[in-house]
Structure 1
Amino acid sequence: MRSLNTDAERTEAAALVQDRQHWLTRRGMPVPAGTDVTALFRESQATAAGLFEDEILLACMILERDPDLGWGDGLCLFLGHVHTLPGRSDDMVRLVTLWASDYAARLELPLVRTEILAPLHSGLIDDFLKRITDMGWDVSGFGAGQTGERVARLELNAEHRPGLSVLVGCSLRDSRSAADKRSVV
């Protein structure tokens, strides 16, 4: 897992998002209607991260430390606009889940939160929610998400996972300030 810093990496992430959204649309799954997610990944001020294997981008997301979500209590690492390479979703979601739980623990945050689009009466979303709760995520409710659309609100406990670097390396820098780092013993 690493930051998407270059224009080329951000363009690759935008292309992955676009491919994933087309893949979802062909299968009758929801995609954000009111937000240009590809543009978010092209913006250099967004903290975008990507999961790579052999220099191939497998997943991308926007990371936020303790955002004002309007739901959930306490500090968290928020994974926004998580997209995976079409056809490899469950494997990538498992790796992102393990990594996010460990990364939040290293940042001394108790939780990871995210949102997934969840329109009413969607059996496909129910199947995905079942798979993701089997991975350790808890559904903390439904409501308007960051883009105003109906979402399932998900939480995952932070947990140090020694040895995870064998599966998922991480070159993201700790986003705490120098003063915060000194205060941690």
Structure 2
Amino acid sequence: MNNFRNTVVQIDNTHPIFMTNFSGNPERDHFGSNIRRVNLVIPNEQQAQDLIAMGVNVRQTRPNPNKVYDGEFVPTFFVPVTINLESKWPPKIYWVTPNGQCNECSPEMVGQLDYIRIRNVNCQANMVEKRNKPGEYTLYARIMYVEQDVDLDPYYTRYHQSTNVAQASQPDNADLPF
């Protein structure tokens, strides 16, 4: 039996599937859990098969019997990643804004990621062996970059450009009107 105790898994250029629970809100979890967790799509089948071979709980979507598909149903592989902010070594979670600004999330701020549109996620996670099931592993976030998506926000460019232009046009020593 292989020991993957110190293995680090990297899942790049992915996105969440289903509802995220960065906040640990039991109402956002299907089973009412208060664990901060996000299900990340595994971008290629080979990585999914490698993780399965290592004992990681990789899941896949199933066809909905009430839905008609255009062509053959193709399952999506995904894996739950736990975000344990109360650990001795909490993960670094970064919120990347559309203008490229990278903000490290505090424990209070990380829950706001549940309410943004996410374009892309890059995640590095530790494999942690389950206490009651030797040989089975869970992923715990180590570093996660969450990129915000504003493609569907028709006002983002309008208001954020005007803010940047207004700030750039004022000299540092300008008198404020109030």
Fold agreement, TM-score > 0.5: no
Using structure 1 for the length normalisation, give the TM-score. 0.26
Using structure 2 for the length normalisation, give the TM-score. 0.27
Higher helix residue share: 1
**Larger RCO (alpha carbons 8 Å, 6+ apart):** 2
